């Protein structure tokens, strides 16, 4: 019987491009020396939709449903940056209540997004159970989104000058219930993940990045804070009402896989601190849709919906109704 032939040359393996349902559209050209990865070349650019060009001939109401699809796991953030830019350019003051509602939605979206990072991350290192746990919490967050916006994903909730609508009756109580439940559930995650010896063995001392390396690579968010750099966009950019909340930036001295996992934290004081008042500037253009039944006989034809949405655009305190052509 012939013995095993040992080859010393390197092997180049193509990984991806992955489907978005996995870890995003990413292709990796990996060079292997046996089982060791000695080089990795990431290749990007597989998901370009030309959103900037689309925006050139759309109104803000028409364009917002597009931006919610940029990051379908954290759609509130893409809406926020889209409305924050013209608000800053036009010096538009957002009502305080609307700003607090935005922060509540952003932090809920942050929870949902980070949970879907945590689950697949644990699955990648061999733990399947947390993947099911995180969907349990995400469904509760999506229930809150659906109650407030009508959509579990792709919410189309932010507007220039505020938000599309105030929170429905009883929504805050449900949100507080979720926060209380989720805070108690963190101890479950601590036992299942953070204190798991198998998890610790696979992430401690892995992928260490110093603060200087993190800055040179242009890292941000949890990656940067885990390197000991006290930097959080919510503190640096001073957007929305984050400056009015009492919270600290979470940073660690050593950036390893374990510390990057710990950086997924959030403040949720906006629930208790929300003020009264309106949720959108009265002087800002708003689209108020009301449903009215058509009176024409042809609307009753098979396949035709007998209801039409009539929008009123308020401009300079003079509403002008816009209906179907």
On whether the CB atoms of residues 313 and 319 are closer than 8 A, the answer is yes
d(CA 230, CA 248): 9
The tens digit of pLDDT for each residue in 268-306 reads 566 655 665 555 554 333 344 444 444 444 544 544 445
308 DSSP β-pair partners: 292
pLDDT score recorded for residue 276: 59
Q: What is the DSSP string of 88-156?
A: HHTTPPPPHHHHHHHHHHHHHHHHHHHHHHHHHHHHHTT--HHHHHHHHHHHHHHHHHHHHHS-SSS--
DSSP state of 19: P
Between the alpha carbon of residue 163 and those of residues 110, 215, 323, the distances in Å are 18, 35, 23
d(CA 204, CA 221): 20
d(CA 80, CA 70): 12
Between the alpha carbon of residue 216 and those of residues 6, 43, 112, 207, 249, the distances in Å are 39, 20, 29, 16, 21
pLDDT score recorded for residue 39: 92
Sole residue written with tokens 């870890």: 23
Long-range CB pairs of 45-48 (<8 Å, 24+ gap) are 46/17, 47/20
Question: Which pair of structure tokens corresponds to residue 278?
Answer: 């309106």
Question: Which pair of structure tokens corresponds to residue 318?
Answer: 């003079």
Q: What is the DSSP string of 262-306?
A: HT-----THHHH---S-SB-TTS--EEEEEEE--SGGGGSTT--S
Structural domains in the chain, sorted by start: 11-43 (no CATH), 72-282 (1.10.645.10)
User: In degrees, to the nearest 5, what angle opens at C-alpha 274 toward C-alphas 269 and 277?
Assistant: 170
Residues of the chain with pLDDT under 50: 1, 254-267, 282-297, 299-300, 302-305, 307-325
Q: b vs e for 64-80, b when ≥16 Cβ sit within 10 Å of the residue's Cβ?
A: bebbbebeebbbbbbbb
Please tell me whether residue 159 adopts helix, strand or coil conformation: strand
Question: Which pair of structure tokens corresponds to residue 82?
Answer: 């889209």
pTM for the structure as a whole: 0.71
d(CA 90, CA 110): 28
């Amino acid at each position: 019987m012939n013995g095993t032939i040992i080859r010393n040359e390197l092997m180049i393996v193509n990984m991806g491009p992955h489907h978005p349902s996995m870890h995003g559209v990413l292709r990796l050209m990996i060079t292997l020396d046996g089982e060791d990865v000695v080089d990795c070349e990431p290749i990007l650019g597989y998901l370009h939709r030309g959103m900037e060009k689309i925006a050139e001939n759309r109104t803000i109401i028409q364009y917002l449903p597009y931006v919610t699809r940029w990051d379908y796991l954290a759609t509130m953030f893409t809406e926020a940056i889209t409305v924050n830019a013209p608000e800053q350019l036009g010096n538009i003051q957002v009502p305080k209540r609307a700003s607090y509602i935005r922060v509540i939605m952003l932090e809920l979206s942050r929870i949902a997004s980070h949970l879907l990072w945590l689950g697949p991350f644990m699955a990648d290192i061999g733990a399947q159970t947390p993947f099911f746990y995180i969907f349990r919490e995400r469904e509760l967050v999506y229930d809150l989104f659906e109650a407030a916006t009508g959509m579990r994903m792709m919410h189309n909730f932010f507007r220039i000058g505020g938000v599309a609508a105030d929170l429905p009756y009883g929504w805050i109580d449900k949100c507080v219930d979720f926060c209380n439940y989720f805070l108690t559930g963190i101890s479950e995650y601590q036992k299942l993940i953070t204190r798991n010896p198998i998890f610790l063995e696979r992430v401690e001392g892995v992928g260490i990045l110093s603060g200087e390396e993190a800055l040179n690579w242009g890292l941000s968010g949890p990656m940067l804070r885990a390197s000991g750099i006290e930097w959080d966009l919510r503190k640096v950019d001073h957007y929305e009402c984050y400056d009015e909340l009492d919270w600290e930036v979470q940073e660690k001295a050593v950036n390893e896989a374990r510390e990057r996992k710990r950086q997924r934290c959030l403040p949720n004081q906006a629930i208790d601190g929300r003020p009264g008042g309106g949720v959108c500037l009265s002087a800002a253009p708003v689209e108020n849709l009301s449903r009215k039944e058509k009176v024409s006989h042809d609307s009753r034809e098979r396949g035709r919906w007998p209801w039409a949405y009539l929008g009123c655009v308020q401009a300079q305190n003079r509403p002008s109704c816009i209906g179907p052509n």
